[in-house]
Amino acid sequence: MDPLRSVKLIHTLIWAFIVACIVAIPLFTALSRFHLAAFFAAVVAVEVAVLLLNGMTCPLTNVAARHTSDRRANFDIYLPEWLARNNKTIFGTLYVVATLLLLARWVASP
């Protein structure tokens, strides 16, 4: 497998894992499994920290850039271009809302 395809595959797998964590937060919150929801929120927070430390870009984007001159929004990941372009807005919003819901439910729980 060529290096760009390898990076895109790894990047896509990591993205899917992070999205699954974001989806898990409200699910476990609804089940009142607050510690588990908080664990998934913390996993995503680590990813957010990595992005912040790298200028809001995934480090794998820099690796992929070494192997192509393509700079479309999805040049480094196997996602539709519209989703790659809006990824941080969509999933960042879901993460913030899910985490606020978690905090509100947890504080209000008996």
Per-residue pLDDT of the chain (110 residues; tens, 9 = 90+): 799 999 999 999 999 999 999 999 999 999 999 999 999 999 999 999 999 999 999 999 999 999 999 999 999 999 999 999 999 999 999 999 999 999 999 999 98
> What's the N-to-C CA distance of the chain in angstroms?
53
| CA distance linking residue 19 with residue 94, whole number of Å | 10
d(CA 3, CA 22): 29
Residue 94 structural domain: 3-108
**CB-CB contact of 30 with 99 (8 Å):** no
Overall number of domains in the chain: 1
Look up the pTM and report it. 0.94
pLDDT of residue 110: 84
CB 60 within 8 A of CB 3: no
